[in-house]
Structure 1
Amino acid sequence: MNDNERPGGPNRGGGDNNGGNPWLKSLLIWVGILFALALVVTVFDGKSTTQTGNTIAYSAFLDKVDEGTVKDVNVSRDLISGTFSSGDKFRTYPVQDSGLMDRLRKAGVEVAGKPEEGPSIWAAMLYQMLPFLLFLGIAFFVLRQMQKGGGAGGAMGFGKSRARMLTQKEGKVTFDDVAGIDEARAELTEIVEFLKDPSKFARLGGKIPKGALLVGSPGTGKTLLARAIAGEAGVPFFTISGSDFVEMFVGVGASRVRDMFEQAKKSAPCIVFIDEIDAVGRHRGAGLGNGNDEREQTLNQLLVEMDGFEANEGIIIVAATNRPDVLDPALLRPGRFDRQVVVPRPDIDGRVKILEVHMKKVPLAPDVDARVIARGTPGFSGADLANLVNEAALMAARKGKRLVANAEFEEAKDKVMMGAERRSMVMTEDEKRMTAYHEAGHAIVALHEPASDPIHKATIIPRGRALGMVMRLPERDSYSYHRDKMYANLAVAMGGRIAEEIIFGYDKVSSGASGDIQYATGLARDMVTKWGMSDKVGPVDYAQPEGESFLGYSSSQPTHMSNETAQLIDAEIKSIVEGGLHRAKHVLTEHIDQLHSLAGALLEYETLSGEEIKKLIAGEEIGRIDQGPKSPAVPTAGTSIPKTKRPSGPFGNPSPAGA
């Protein structure tokens, strides 16, 4: 739901009022200045030759003198010029010749001297100053461009704030455009009401909050909420990113913080929105002795401005982050950020409202039901739902339709969840058969595990980075994870590998289950180290603490864990994963006929829905009139992809195969 459209206008950086390129214009100005300097040097250069005439050799000049055809000459140290009897002019360059004057007198040539001319004083000055002027011009040009990049002009533009005031009148966002996060919207609506009518709260002793921190996963609508505040408040709204404060020069960030608050004081009451505040508000001293002084100074200045000796009345700071765990505690205390507004992923009712907001601009067919789509998209954020509606509209446009139907929404949902289909990928029949049994193994185990989520779709059409996939969706939003469901997911994850072993033999097991093994190992590790679900280890937290590591190195073993405990944890993780392997093997061995039936149907139809799989297992007809488009069945030799590219996660979220 994040919308980062920037308002246009003549005061915006990156645009030129005359429609030209300011960088190119400045460059052309300096090129013109340097050309003018060179022209002045040429004009004032006393050594520039203005004489005309043909240049002849000195020996030829002497022959002409002896012949008596030279009328007159002008002699200087570096040049001899003159006129022949015929009126033609000539010039030559002298050599060391002490008898030249005697030969000229004997021949009756009129001789005139010429004073030595050096460069004029202006030319000499320009020659000396030209390199310095060139260097000064380049330095001034670079400095000017850097100051423009900083969002302010002037000689000291580095310390100016980059905060932009939102003044757009058209297309503004209001709270009507924000859906699915009613509690967060209510918290911020109160701030807007406080700005509009402070006396309503002041008569009961209430004070305006100084700051509100929006915390939520990426795509949940934090920036959209901030833009809605700007649209609703009717007061100046400054927006800036946390990364705009930090520069390579120490002290620049603190100067920008001071300048931002100075601008805000002039426009108070106002709102200042800092996006991604974790870029500047990280915990101080987390660098293990190698901290960033510039970032810490910037944070210190921000803390002082928010709650220092000088009161900043009427300035409300709204910040957003998806990493509240790394923020400095001094930034989060009351008096600075008085409210921490959690922006969660929407539930089913919230998803319905978000879909309805985005569907307003899309012509819908009568079979489209926002609640049905919302029920099939658990865990989607607002940005995911906006992308879903957009993908459905694009698919309908590609098909030449006038309305977006439910079929396009289903295709878009599959594309968003599982990746785009890659029907052009060439697979051998053996690979297709192994992929079909691998995915059938996942599906059969999922059907026979009561705690497993229902199957949404199974396919052997390559999607994203996977050659096949079994997608499961929960029936409703869940906020906790139970032990029986964890064991069921472990069994489902191991179903693909066990199916390959049962059907093709121990030596033919492929690397396609690498993603499943990675998922199962991570789940088992969390069960043992985080959730206390191992009787041998007990309800003790042995999880690796999340935080910054020194030089990228992080020990896999917490410092408070002994070697014996680490060995016990590894043994428990292995035991839990192998338990899922045995459960999957028991289910597939007992229902081997269902495994063959489902794999055969996947080879025939390539994609089956959850309802079709249930009918097939129950011995009923699937009921398809046509079998749907088929991918290339007979590939050319040597064009198959390696089997290490066949990860298949139990939730349809494949991860790259590991070695």
Structure 2
Amino acid sequence: MKDYFEEIVGYEDIKKELRIISDMLNNDDVYKKIGASINEGLILSGKPGTGKTTMANCIIKSTNRSVYVCRKKSTDGDFIKTINGIFQSAKENIPSIVLLDDLDKFSDKERDCDAEEFVAVQSCMDEIKGMDVFVIATVNNMRKVPDSLQRPGRLGKRIHVRIPKVGEAVKIIKHYLDKTENCDDLDEVSIARMLNGESCATLENVINSAAMKAAFNRQNKVNMQNIIDSCLDVIFEAPQSEEQLPEEIKRRIAYHESGHAVVAEVLDPGSVSIISIRQTESGDYGFVRYLRTEEKEDFYSDYNENIIKTSLAGKAATELIFGEADMGATSDIHHAFDKAEKLVDNRCMYGFDNWIQDDFSSSFAAENRNRAMAMVLEKNYLEVKKLLVENRELLDSIADSLVKNTTLIYSDVQAICGSYKKQSA
């Protein structure tokens, strides 16, 4: 028997749930015999481009039922008629499936439980109770879907379709690369880390963009540089520019970004995914992307302080090397203070007197908290400077490589760090 869910790359946990739903739709007598009833509806929720509609179509293809797809294409009055007509057709041709694609877009209003479109869907779902009509809805923004539609008996089953994890991203990237003529030495792990946190659609877009670059250059195959350039264009909005920065400014930027990278690698080895000193369209002169562990952020205070250290490391590196204040560290300092606020206020790591209960707390409480936050940053900043002095050779090596190559990916950083460790041994 064909497994229609194999076309979904990764997402093994979600595919297991989808297979159960498919089996219930195909073998409802087995489930009814044991006392399990088919829920009338399923919501597939998640960010755009994560594959919700693909998953819905896999369920549809696996059941061989009559299918009726409802997307908003017409004005409000006509669309209400469309909704009623689709459910009526589904009732007349059971067993059937109704796909409400982008249900959250059925109404243009931000949050309106009484919007005519949602009322129509709710009424139609009530009318199909006891009939062999299964409803699937895809949703980007769950806040726009009224609670009355999400309750059991209507769209009672919800599966959140998340952004792919790194291991899944590697498989997805390989899947898209297999559709191109590409070099054998493409580093799928480094590519996945550059694209960490991006949707499946974005992964596909990056690979397609790389193939376009290769074709324009009249290359026979897509190479790693095409992928890197595509990531810089699509993800980081840092296209290659004909204008060259003065060498001294490039060195300052390189040391700033290398400071971030060195401290990150010392405190959390393997966490740096990409470093670049290309200017972004938002005006930044460089950036570092990290792969961080959400579980550690949720449970370990020292891990959170390490993030503060990493944020302050660009400023510390610039001042260590050039003996001047870093004029490009504003966003880093904001990020460090934001993290410190969570530790001082939300987590009460430095005493309950730093807790601010609500917006009406006294100015004394706010001043007390801010003083504690500054203390956290001062302490971590001193430790950062010490780390950079102790790892000065690594800092110089990464900065020199950045000035030469402009962008370093995960494998480049690991090679430099590996060489540094051998020399230090």
**Aligned partners of 2:243 and 2:336: how far apart in 1?**
28
Contact 2:49 2:200 in 1 (8 A): yes
Deviations 1:412-468 (A, max 9, x none): 4555554444231332334223212322322333344x2365434433343554322
**Aligned partners of 2:7 and 2:26: how far apart in 1?**
20
Structure 2 match to 1:302: 121
Taking a change above 3 Å as real, the CA distance of residues 348 and 613 of structure 1, as seen in their structure-2 partners, is: closer
Taking a change above 3 Å as real, the CA distance of residues 220 and 426 of structure 1, as seen in their structure-2 partners, is: same
**Aligned partners of 1:253 and 1:266: how far apart in 2?**
20
**Aligned partners of 1:599 and 1:418: how far apart in 2?**
20
Deviations 1:590-629 (A, max 9, x none): 5556655654554345445313542675696xxxxxxxxx
Structure 2 match to 1:451: 268
1:536 maps to which of 346, 351, 364 = 351
2:337 maps to which of 517, 521, 525 = 521
Contact 1:305 1:312 in 2 (8 A): no
2:403 maps to which of 603, 620, 637 = 603
**Aligned partners of 1:567 and 1:296: how far apart in 2?**
46
CA RMSD of aligned residues (A): 3.9
Taking a change above 3 Å as real, the CA distance of residues 540 and 336 of structure 1, as seen in their structure-2 partners, is: farther
Taking a change above 3 Å as real, the CA distance of residues 495 and 348 of structure 1, as seen in their structure-2 partners, is: closer
Taking a change above 3 Å as real, the CA distance of residues 516 and 401 of structure 1, as seen in their structure-2 partners, is: same
Deviations 1:237-288 (A, max 9, x none): 22234x55873x7xx7655543332232223322222233234589x9x97x
Contact 1:210 1:336 in 2 (8 A): yes
SS at match of 2:115: helix
Aligned residue type for 2:382:
H
Deviations 1:511-551 (A, max 9, x none): x2233223223333333455x25232489896xxxxxxxxx
Of the two, which has the highest radius of gyration?
1
**Aligned partners of 1:327 and 1:176: how far apart in 2?**
30
SS at match of 1:203: helix
Contact 2:354 2:365 in 1 (8 A): no
**Aligned partners of 1:442 and 1:420: how far apart in 2?**
19
SS at match of 1:341: strand
- Residue 74 of structure 2 corresponds to residue 271 of structure 1: no
- Residue 279 of structure 2 corresponds to residue 462 of structure 1: yes
- Residue 158 of structure 2 corresponds to residue 328 of structure 1: no
1:222 maps to which of 52, 58, 78 = 52
Deviations 1:74-104 (A, max 9, x none): xxxxxxxxxxxxxxxxxxxxxxxxxxxxxxx
Taking a change above 3 Å as real, the CA distance of residues 600 and 177 of structure 1, as seen in their structure-2 partners, is: closer
1:583 maps to which of 353, 374, 383 = 383
**Aligned partners of 2:163 and 2:234: how far apart in 1?**
17
Structure 1 match to 2:28: 198
Contact 1:177 1:357 in 2 (8 A): no
- Residue 313 of structure 2 corresponds to residue 495 of structure 1: yes
**Aligned partners of 1:541 and 1:354: how far apart in 2?**
45
Identity %: 25
**Aligned partners of 1:193 and 1:523: how far apart in 2?**
46
Contact 2:355 2:365 in 1 (8 A): no
Contact 1:364 1:405 in 2 (8 A): yes
SS at match of 2:136: strand
Contact 1:537 1:568 in 2 (8 A): no
**Aligned partners of 1:528 and 1:307: how far apart in 2?**
50
- Residue 7 of structure 2 corresponds to residue 181 of structure 1: no
Contact 2:22 2:62 in 1 (8 A): yes
Contact 2:254 2:403 in 1 (8 A): yes
**Aligned partners of 1:262 and 1:356: how far apart in 2?**
43
1:222, distance to aligned residue in structure 2 (A): 0.7
Taking a change above 3 Å as real, the CA distance of residues 538 and 367 of structure 1, as seen in their structure-2 partners, is: farther
Aligned residue type for 2:331:
G
Aligned residue type for 2:89:
Q
- Residue 409 of structure 2 corresponds to residue 614 of structure 1: no
Aligned residue type for 2:286:
G
**Aligned partners of 1:211 and 1:539: how far apart in 2?**
47
Taking a change above 3 Å as real, the CA distance of residues 453 and 598 of structure 1, as seen in their structure-2 partners, is: closer
1:352, distance to aligned residue in structure 2 (A): 4.1
1:209, distance to aligned residue in structure 2 (A): 1.9
SS at match of 1:207: coil
Structure with the larger helix share: 2
**Aligned partners of 1:564 and 1:258: how far apart in 2?**
60
Structure 1 match to 2:245: 427
**Aligned partners of 2:407 and 2:4: how far apart in 1?**
43
**Aligned partners of 2:58 and 2:355: how far apart in 1?**
44
**Aligned partners of 1:253 and 1:568: how far apart in 2?**
56
**Aligned partners of 1:558 and 1:264: how far apart in 2?**
52
The number of aligned residues is 416
Aligned residue type for 2:381:
L
Aligned residue type for 1:299:
F
- Residue 205 of structure 2 corresponds to residue 387 of structure 1: yes
Taking a change above 3 Å as real, the CA distance of residues 618 and 525 of structure 1, as seen in their structure-2 partners, is: same
1:505, distance to aligned residue in structure 2 (A): 4.5
Deviations 1:25-78 (A, max 9, x none): xxxxxxxxxxxxxxxxxxxxxxxxxxxxxxxxxxxxxxxxxxxxxxxxxxxxxx
- Residue 213 of structure 2 corresponds to residue 399 of structure 1: no
1:576, distance to aligned residue in structure 2 (A): 3.2
Structure 1 match to 2:84: 258
SS at match of 2:351: coil
1:196, distance to aligned residue in structure 2 (A): 3.7
Taking a change above 3 Å as real, the CA distance of residues 201 and 444 of structure 1, as seen in their structure-2 partners, is: closer
1:225, distance to aligned residue in structure 2 (A): 0.9
1:212, distance to aligned residue in structure 2 (A): 0.4
Aligned residue type for 2:264:
A
Taking a change above 3 Å as real, the CA distance of residues 187 and 612 of structure 1, as seen in their structure-2 partners, is: closer
Larger RCO (CA under 8 A, 6+ residues apart): 2
SS at match of 2:176: helix
Taking a change above 3 Å as real, the CA distance of residues 579 and 307 of structure 1, as seen in their structure-2 partners, is: farther
Structure 2 match to 1:58: none
1:362, distance to aligned residue in structure 2 (A): 2.1
Contact 1:213 1:340 in 2 (8 A): yes
1:408, distance to aligned residue in structure 2 (A): 4.1
Aligned residue type for 2:384:
A
Contact 2:42 2:157 in 1 (8 A): yes
**Aligned partners of 1:588 and 1:344: how far apart in 2?**
37
Ranges in structure 2 where 5+ consecutive residues have no aligned partner: none
**Aligned partners of 1:504 and 1:238: how far apart in 2?**
66
1:211, distance to aligned residue in structure 2 (A): 0.3
Deviations 1:171-192 (A, max 9, x none): xx95332121223233333333
SS at match of 1:185: helix
1:214, distance to aligned residue in structure 2 (A): 0.9
Taking a change above 3 Å as real, the CA distance of residues 281 and 201 of structure 1, as seen in their structure-2 partners, is: farther
Structure 2 match to 1:210: 40
1:210, distance to aligned residue in structure 2 (A): 0.5
